[in-house]
Structures are given as structure tokens and as C-alpha cells.
Amino acid sequence: MPLLASVERVRAALLAAGHPDRITEFPDGTRTAEDAAAAVGCAVAQIAKSIVFRAGDQAVVVITSGANRVDPKKLAAALGRPVKRADAEFVRHATGFAIGGVSPFGHTSAALLVFDRDLLPLHSIWAAAGSPTHVFTTDPATLVRLTGAIVADIRQDLTPA
């Protein structure tokens, strides 16, 4: 079965940036951080999930630890502009990817990128590679460099009730 155009777009972006092609397919799926961690055999925190928000008409792709939830107020403060969650139609239109397969790069239009600082201490991380069954591995510093993302504290703090 031929690879999806979206996966090929990620592969081309990786290779153009001088990054090794480390895309792996997991037929059972990697749609959620938990699914991805189980498939690749790593901690959920090592999954670099891409969550799409919108700032007006521009996509904001947040690369966050699979163990974290994004705090929209912290995200807005890091960007200096208001944000809101994006719906599935906006995600596909703005990035060229479906939810569950949004890659940190290879988007079809310019996006603002924000990188969760909680990923920085990890040795290796896994990110979606354009489909809900494809991921690639890299290290946090390389992913920040490749994406040009702003590094920020965007984790939602969970306080006891």
C-alpha cells in the first residue's frame, strides 16, 4: 500500500532538514499519546503530541508532552495573543493533517509553533509523522531547531480540589 501524501510530506521535510528518516508505521494506530507510547514502547511523557489551536486565522501548533494538557491561558501569554481550540476542519485546512496525525512540521501553511519545555530533559521523543499510524523519533533539541518553535511553560497545572 502506498504511503499517504501527508506522510511523504513529513518524510521530505525531515530529509530536507538533514534529519534521518526514522518514520515507523504502527498499523494498530498511534492516535492518542497512550496508544503511541504502547506501540513504540516508551513512556507517555516521551510522546510529543501536536495540539492545534488558532490565533485568529493562523494555526498554532503546540508540541507538548503526552503526559501534559495545554493551558490555553499560558499559551496565550507565551504568544502575546488570544488563542482558542481548533476544530477538526480548521486543523486539516491549516496544517494538511487530520487530528491524530498532526506532525510538528510539514504543514501546508505557515503556523506558529510552541514547544513544551517539559520535553527538553528527555533523551528521545516520538512525534506524529502525518497519519494516525506513523511516528518518528528524534531528540527534543533537534525538534526545537527543526521547527523554530518558541519554548514555553504551557502545561496545565493540576491542583487538588
Q: Please give the average per-residue pLDDT across 60-81, as a whole number.
A: 97
Tell me the backbone φ, ψ of residue 158, rounded to 5 degrees: -100, 115
Q: Could you give the CA distance from residue 126 to residue 148 in angstroms, rounded to a whole number? A: 18
pTM of the model: 0.93
Q: What is the pLDDT of residue 24?
A: 94
Handedness of CA 26, 107, 51, 116 (dihedral sign): positive
Q: For residue 73, give the C-alpha cell.
A: 491561558
State pLDDT tens for residues 126-150. 999 999 999 999 999 999 999 999 9
Cα within 13 Å of Cα(142), Cβ side: 15
Q: Domains in the chain and their CATH numbers?
A: 5-152 (3.90.960.10)
141 phi and psi angles, rounded to 5 deg? -60, -40
